[in-house]
Amino acid sequence: MGTYQNILVAIDLNEEADKVVRKACQMGLQTGAKLTLIHVTEPLSYAYGGDIPMDLSSIQKQLHEHAEQRMSNFVQQHKLDDVDQLLVSGHIETEVHRVANELSSDLIVVGSHGRHGLALLLGSTSNGILHGATCDVLAVRI
Amino acid sequence: MGTYQNILVAIDLNEEADKVVRKACQMGLQTGAKLTLIHVTEPLSYAYGGDIPMDLSSIQKQLHEHAEQRMSNFVQQHKLDDVDQLLVSGHIETEVHRVANELSSDLIVVGSHGRHGLALLLGSTSNGILHGATCDVLAVRI
């Protein structure tokens, strides 16, 4: 039995995701674990507050389609066709924890910038995912 | 080439360390990495402030000897004689980062309680080690 059976890989879909996915794939090969990629798009209201006097739904839809396209390109580029992919919308930490629980993930892999000071207090994503996770978390240095 | 070559395992020397070390040993076996155990004893002045009107040095010495004994028992119990062991004194996060840099560790393994709220702001050890680390960090859920 390997160390991990179900690895959930939370990615940004930018060039930083390469390193995270490469590390996760190596871990998957070594442990024989099943990999699932997840990308979370945060609703615009989270970033700009909920009281903007405009209809964000069409922009939201465009952003989601853009993310779908990027996920598709990313998967093709990294030859990850046999890896499950999830594109969800919501609060990043909440969604990653929810999906990790649903999939009974035993490891979450996420990129980390290792921020200090204010950024630490404001909470980076890796930090947010570490806290509240019910499984192990591997923070890959970017 | 494995994912990791040099794994630094930061442990508490209590029963929680068992899970962290077990996971680190599995990772070591799978990746062929060299393992180093580190336990950091914090100077009492860090915990009680620097202005206590008493000489702490003899208590400090006793604590260090106690930690040495516990590390020795731990290593024997887990049959880790071929694993390097370090017992250092100082601020936990600082010492773990310093030693990780010195040893060119590419992974730090540490236990994590996944605390929320206030404990998160106050900074748990896994959180402190994650931030400021120049290599990957695996937080093992305890």
As a whole number of angstroms, the distance between CA B90 and CA A76 comes to: 48
By the 8 A CB rule, do A100 and A128 touch?
no
Residue A42 has pLDDT above 90, yes or no: no
Is residue B142 within 8 angstroms of chain A, CB to CB?
no
As a whole number of angstroms, the distance between CA A34 and CA B139 comes to: 20
Chain B positions touching A120 (Cβ under 8 A) are 127, 131
Rg (CA), chain A: 16
* Higher-confidence position of B17 and A95: A95
Output DSSP code: residue B39.
Answer: E
Predicted TM-score (pTM) of the model is 0.83
Residue B45 has pLDDT above 80, yes or no: no
Chain B positions touching A135 (Cβ under 8 A) are 141
> What class, spelled out in words, does domain A6-141 have in CATH?
alpha beta
Q: Which range has the worst mean pLDDT, A10-14, B17-21, B104-108?
A: A10-14
pLDDT tens-digit map of B56-96: 677 778 888 888 888 888 888 888 888 899 999 888 889 99
pLDDT of amino acid A79: 86
pLDDT of amino acid A37: 94
Residue from the list A115, A136, A139 with its beta carbon closest to the beta carbon of B136: A139
Q: Which residue has the tokens 């996060």?
A: B93
pLDDT of amino acid B114: 55
* Higher-confidence position of A47 and B122: A47
Pairwise CB contact (< 8 Å): A133 & B141: yes
* Higher-confidence position of B119 and A130: A130
* Buried/exposed B79-107: b ≥16 CB within 10 Å, e otherwise: ebeebebbbeeeebbebbbebbeebebbb
pLDDT of amino acid A2: 61
Is residue A121 within 8 angstroms of chain B, CB to CB?
yes
As a whole number of angstroms, the distance between CA B90 and CA A41 comes to: 41
Nearest in space to B138 (alpha carbons), one of B107, B113, B114: B107
Model ipTM value:
0.79
Question: Which site among A31, A115, A136 would you substitute to test the B interface, given the most B Cβ atoms closer than 10 Å to its Cβ?
Answer: A136
What pLDDT band is residue B120 in, cutting at 50, 70 and 90? very low
pLDDT tens-digit map of A46-102: 555 556 556 667 777 888 888 888 888 888 888 888 889 999 988 888 999 999 999
Task: Calculate mean pLDDT across residues A30-49.
Answer: 80
Chain A positions touching B114 (Cβ under 8 A) are 130-134
pLDDT of amino acid A114: 55
Per-position DSSP letters for B60-129, written without gaps between them: HHHHHHHHHHHHHHHHHHTT-TTSEEEEEES-HHHHHHHHHHHTT-SEEEEEE----HHHHHH--HHHHH
Pairwise CB contact (< 8 Å): B139 & A136: yes
As a whole number of angstroms, the distance between CA A4 and CA B27 comes to: 10
What stretches of A5-141 show up as alpha helix (H) in DSSP? 16-31, 44-48, 57-77, 92-102, 117-122, 125-130
As a whole number of angstroms, the distance between CA A111 and CA A140 comes to: 5
Chain B positions touching A137 (Cβ under 8 A) are 112, 138-139, 141
Q: B40: which strand partners? A: B88
Task: Calculate mean pLDDT across residues A119-133.
Answer: 69
Residues in chain B: 142
Among A113-127, B13-27, B38-52, top mean pLDDT goes to B13-27
pLDDT of amino acid A60: 78
